[in-house]
Every structure is written in structure tokens, then in C-alpha cells.
Amino acid sequence: MSKTSQARIKHNMEINLKTHHRILLTGAAGGLGTTLRSLWEAQCGVLMLSDKYPSCQP
């Protein structure tokens, strides 16, 4: 994913996360889940992760 795309996603997520305290991220071990997890973990109160496969990152 390009840095421009990541910046755009991050901007959109910052706007939306301000209204959400808890988020359940399904498919968290995949590529998109990994990207979203790194963007969201510092911005939401509770980030719950779920996937049927183990994550390669903590």
C-alpha cells in the first residue's frame, strides 16, 4: 500500500474513531487488518482483535 493511501486511510480513520470508543476488528491477522490495527490502536479506547488465523505481529 502506498504512503499516500495509508495517509488517506489514517485521516479518514481519525475522523471516524473520535466517535467510537470500542472497535472489534475481524480479520485482524490479514494485511488490511494489520494496517488498520497499527492505525487504530493508539486512537481508540478498546481495540478488540479477532481472526481464525494467528497473527504474525503482536
What is the structure's pLDDT at 17? 57
Assigned domain for 55 exists: no
15 pLDDT higher than 80: no
For 23-56, how does the pLDDT look when each residue is reduced to its tens digit (9 = 90+)?
898 888 888 888 888 888 877 788 898 988 876 6
**The dihedral formed by the CA atoms of 35, 12, 44 and 29, expressed in degrees to the nearest 10:** -20
How many domains does the chain contain in total? 1
What is the structure's pLDDT at 56? 62
Q: Would you tell me how many other CB atoms lie within 10 Å of the CB of residue 23?
A: 19
Cα dist from 23 to 1, 3, 44, whole Å: 23, 24, 7
Question: What whole-number distance in Å separates Cα of residue 55 and Cα of residue 18?
Answer: 26
Residue 13 belongs to domain spanning: 3-50
Assigned domain for 32 exists: yes
pTM of the model: 0.55
Assigned domain for 57 exists: no
